[in-house]
Amino acid sequence: MKINQLISILFLFLASNLSAQVFELNPSDYFSFEPVFRHDYIVKNKIRSVRAAIVYKRDNEPIEDKGLTKSWEYDEDGFLTRYYYTSIHGFVNKVVAHPAVMRRGRKISGAYTTEEPVYSYDTVSTAYFYNPKKQIILRRTRDGDYYSSIYYEYDAQGNIRKQQVFRETNASENKNTFKLGVQNLLSTEEFTYEKRSPRQTKRKHLNDEGKVYKETILNYDSVGHLLDENSSYTVSWMRSSTKMTYDSKGKMILKSYTSNENGDELTKSEYKYTASNMVDIENRFKGDIRYYEFNYLYDKQTNMLTSHFVREELNKAIVIVKYSYLYY
């Protein structure tokens, strides 16, 4: 049997083992949130939307539920159309009166008042638009009255050829629909690609003037996993590198990032998996110090994600996230 046939069979074997995973551990720059759900997870379970309810608990203190949420919406083909989250804009203290407690005609405790915070929220929303090839051509984020929009163009191989960032306003009287008003170009970036070998690609980053200001080398293994991504600026000493390590089944077990842009910086994530090949525990480090420990819980029958917990080591607190779903 030919080598390329063996590689194809191995790739299919690994893909079948990975299809049970819920997350993209190395998502595209289109997505600036976490977690990023895998497309095959959304399609397999016919998910219309995912909602995450978030509460916070400091050590030795009660749970704080401030009504914070994150939500993802998908089309019938399993592609993300909208992502949004709430943040606290402010709060006022509301006086709550508690009546006296009576039992058998006797006063057990007197009346009293407490102050409870009433929160006001901002919602940051991002909409995604696609071409017929299901490539993202526009990511538009609304934050207040303005929109930050990124437009993408692709080459024949499906690589991003150009991206432009605009600040936009909505001219529609109905603020729930978008009609382009004023559009100001903030930046333009173009990319060219050079296939240096079957496993290595060189990407050049061009600025507004069409001049190369950064170069990135991408190295892949025999089944297409990105092994590392090394970037350097052409007119400075700044460099960065992202490296991925996989186990024998093709699951990512380590992802690290180094950069000297803000002094020597090292961050990394280590992953452990369940028997069903889903992420079980993720530890995140800065240098040798663990800042976060993520623990993921799944439904025993469906293997769908039900919740995850984030231990914040420095704050001595836990973030608790519970997921709910709507389906097609």
Q: What is the pLDDT of residue 20?
A: 60
Q: What is the pLDDT of residue 1?
A: 41
Angle at 327 between CA 49 and CA 15, to 5 degrees: 80
Q: What is the pLDDT of residue 2?
A: 42
Q: Provide Rg for the chain, Cα atoms.
A: 24
Residues of the chain with pLDDT under 50: 1-18
| For the chain, domain boundaries | 3-327
Q: Give 286's strand partners.
A: 267, 289
Q: What is the pLDDT of residue 89?
A: 64
Measure the CA–CA gap between 212 and 206, rounded to whole angstroms.
4
Q: What is the pLDDT of residue 21?
A: 82
Strand ranges, E, within the chain: 47-58, 64-74, 80-98, 101-103, 106-109, 112-130, 136-143, 146-154, 160-170, 180-197, 200-206, 212-220, 226-233, 239-246, 252-259, 265-273, 279-286, 289-298, 305-312, 317-327
Q: What is the pLDDT of residue 273?
A: 95
Q: What is the pLDDT of residue 173?
A: 87
Output the DSSP codes for 170-215.
E--SSTTS--EEEEEEEEEEEEEEEEEETTEEEEEEE-TTS-EEEE
Measure the CA–CA gap between 253 and 305, rounded to whole angstroms.
19
